[in-house]
């Protein structure tokens, strides 16, 4: 049986008792809550809502004080990968690393855009961001043409 979209009504039923009279037929719908899906008493399967993954832009301080900027959905997993030398060549010789900054974004394109922006910055500007020094960050953002 094909999965149907998860509607607000089904969400309400799942979280508030599981029974409601069907407006079209007057019959009652009963929901059970297995791990991966919602099932109606009629046997119809309903897809549960998907959890939106947050994306993070992070800055790591490497062993020799260089800064590395990246993106991930799970920063602790990614930090462990960096420290086990799993990933790009840049990090393999610069471990151990420590997380010094992170910011969240609702999706990958926005996180990637911000990562690219930060990667173009000087080290002093990145350090101002890490320290939360807004006045220095503003000063370093001014054009010196």
pLDDT tens digits along 25-68:
554 545 455 555 555 666 677 666 667 789 999 999 998 899 99
- The CATH classification of domain 55-141, taken from the options 3.40.1440.10, 3.40.50.880, 3.30.365.10, 3.30.465.10: 3.40.1440.10
Q: What pLDDT digit, counting tens, does each position of 102-145 carry?
A: 999 999 999 999 999 999 999 999 999 999 999 999 999 887 65
Interior/surface letters 39-70, b for 16+ CB within 10 angstroms, e for the rest: ebeeeeebebeeeeeebbbbbbbbeeeebbbb
pLDDT at 6: 47
Which part of the chain is CATH 3.40.1440.10?
A: 55-141
- β-strand partners of 40: 31
Q: How far is it, in rounded angstroms, from Cα 20 to Cα 26?
A: 9
pTM for the complete prediction? 0.63
pLDDT on residue 55: 97
Other Cβ atoms closer than 10 A to 107: 11
Separation in Å, CA 95 to CA 19, 28, 57, 126: 55, 60, 19, 20
> d(Cα 67, Cα 130) in Å, to the nearest integer?
11
């Amino acid at each position: 049986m094909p999965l149907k979209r998860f509607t607000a009504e089904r969400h309400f039923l799942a979280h508030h008792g599981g029974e409601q009279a069907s407006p079209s037929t007057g019959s009652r719908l009963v929901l059970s809550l297995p791990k991966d899906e919602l099932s109606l008493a009629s046997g119809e399967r309903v897809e549960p809502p998907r959890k939106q993954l947050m994306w993070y832009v992070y800055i790591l301080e490497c062993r020799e004080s260089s800064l590395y900027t990246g993106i991930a959905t799970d920063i602790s997993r990614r930090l462990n990968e960096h420290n086990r030398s799993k990933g790009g060549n840049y990090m393999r010789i610069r471990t151990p690393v420590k997380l010094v900054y992170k910011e969240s974004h609702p999706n990958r394109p926005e996180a990637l855009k911000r990562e690219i922006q930060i990667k173009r910055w000087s080290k002093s500007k990145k350090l101002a961001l890490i320290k939360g020094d807004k006045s220095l960050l503003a000063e370093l953002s001014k054009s010196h043409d």
